[in-house]
Chains A and B, each alone.
Chain A
Amino acid sequence: MTPFSFTRATDPDEALRLFAGNASYLGGGTNLVDLMRETIARPERLVDVTALSDTIEETADGGLLIGAAVRNTALAEHLGVRTRYPMLSRAILAGASAQIRNMATVGGNLLQRTRCLYFYDSEGSRCNKRAPGSGCDAIEGFNRNHAILGASPACVATHPSDMCVALAALDATVHLATAGGARTLPFTALHRLPGEHPEIDTVLEPGELITAIELPPLSVAANSTYRKVRDRASYAFALVSVAAAMEIEGGRIGDVRIALGGVAHKPWRATKAEAALRGRPATEAVFRDAALAELADATRLSDNSFKVELVTRTVAAVLADLAGAAA
């Protein structure tokens, strides 16, 4: 680890004041401390923001406002999340291990970096995300875990979060604090596709601080779930994952929300699949066709073409479960 100074903020204004130069905000540290130990992240100044809001409050319109310092376990455990947004509890509980969920904050989860092994291999591999312009060794390398949607010739890494897949499906809003004041951002606009600048993960300005995540009231979310497909039964990142919510009205699909994990540089909201489902009968053929509509532009690398069929089957299976639960 390269040397750094450590300070602790007690409110957003103080955090913004303490953030200067080559600084990073520190939450639970479960990703950042590891990146610093590998010298992939080399901040000169850490601002601990775990003393900021860690409460989950009901909003006036019937949603939830989740402080950025809420631990992952606390969010998954919250009774309102379990009953009104079960996909979010399930996504969090499918991620990492219990110890890591006890440490990791909501804000930090959003800003974790890819687990592409070439990104981590600072001594042996080229990586445009770690060292801009150096090249990408994943594209011609071992790319079984890599992206099939929205990738670029510069980067095929995937976003590793489970929680973020649910937040994308739930139309969450991100609350931000900046020196110029507060602003909000649709969750799906927070993360970027790699394009020519994969070193930039989000649209946040330097020093901009995530203060909270807001969930809107969303009746469809009560019938929702999250399914993660991975190489072992627990404690592994997703090959693909699906967060979905669906209502059935008179035998036809009403409101429906779908997001995909493990397939892109960002949590992938499947708007094409949703459009292909609304108003249609809830049958397996319709489910499969909707998934294929989303995957029409999928690109395949040497080792990850299986993901196209895996996403299709997982979407169909999840929607069949939700249709059964809605019947």
Chain B
Amino acid sequence: MPVIINGSAATLPSDPRVSLLDFLREGLQLSGTKKGCNQGACGACTVLVDGERVLSCLALAVQFDGRQVTTIEGLSDDAGLHPLQQAFIEHDGFQCGYCTPGQICSAIGMAAEAKRGLPSHVSADLTAGVTLTREELQERMSGNLCRCGAHNGIIDAIRETVAAEMAP
């Protein structure tokens, strides 16, 4: 069974050592997904698999047959940027830009988690539903590091877009 990358079927590599990250970048020339630490510490390689955010560097590509993978390349279309991409520009949510694709994919996965009521480490009540305060967003996005220090702009961009959709 092939893997579906941004809506298109792709044949998985025969060598089981290939990570999902290297398959995307080297096998499919989808270099939008970035290799930061390559050990699960920075979040730069975050992609969406069946809508859930995961680290493609710690994933063996062979485990993903039949799954739907969305990368940063799959978020924009001919009509233009994804609203979150536009918000990152408007809020200075980056300097060098290396963590940005992972930040954006992570934020989209995060919004889906919050919408279905998943609590976080800083949620005072585990069952009361989620309000995406600044503190909640900081905790929920803590798996994505930005060494330029653009975190405040990143949180602003997320608050204005995906988090605003959830406001009561």
A interface residue numbers (CB < 8 A to B):
1, 3-6, 26, 28-30, 33-34, 37, 46, 48, 50, 73, 76-77, 79, 82-83, 86, 89-90, 93-94, 96-100, 102-103, 233-235
Contacts and interface: CB of A to CB of B under 8 A. Distances in A.
What 3 A-B pairs come out closest when comparing CB atoms?
A: A97-B143, A234-B142, A6-B16
Contacts of A234: 121, 138-139, 142
A50 B139 CA distance: 28
A22 to B, nearest CB: 15
Chain B interface residue bracket vs A? 35 or more
Nearest to B106: A99
Given A34-B58, A102-B54, A89 B126 contact: yes
Contact of B60 (A3, A33, A76, A89): A33
Contact of A98 (B16, B19, B143): B143
B142 A29 contact: no
Given A33-B60, A37-B39, 6 more contacts: A29-B59, A73-B52, A97-B144, A98-B140, A234-B121, A235-B143
A99 B60 contact: no
9 contacts: A1-B17, A26-B60, A76-B119, A93-B120, A98-B53, A98-B110, A99-B54, A99-B143, A233-B142
B60 to A, nearest CB: 6
* Most chain A CB inside 10 Å of its own CB: which residue of B17, B62, B106: B17
Contacts of B139: 233-234
Contacts of B143: 96-100, 235
Contacts of A26: 60, 63
A77 B118 CA distance: 6
B127 interface: yes
B46 interface: yes
B43 interface: yes
A103 B59 contact: yes
Interface string B26-63: 00000000000011100100100000111100111011
Contacts of B117: 77
Nearest to B113: A98
Interface in B84-113: 106, 109-110, 113
A235 to B, nearest CB: 4
Contacts of B52: 73, 102
Contacts of A33: 19, 58-60
Contacts of A86: 126
Contacts of B127: 79, 82-83
A90 B138 CA distance: 17
A83 B117 CA distance: 14
A233 B120 CA distance: 13
B40 A90 contact: no
Contact of B43 (A5, A30, A94, A97): A97
Nearest to B139: A234
A195 B20 CA distance: 39
Nearest to B120: A93
A231 to B, nearest CB: 13
Nearest to B15: A3
Interface in B113-152: 113, 116-121, 123, 126-127, 138-140, 142-144
Nearest to A96: B143
* Most chain B CB inside 10 Å of its own CB: which residue of A6, A48, A86, A99: A99
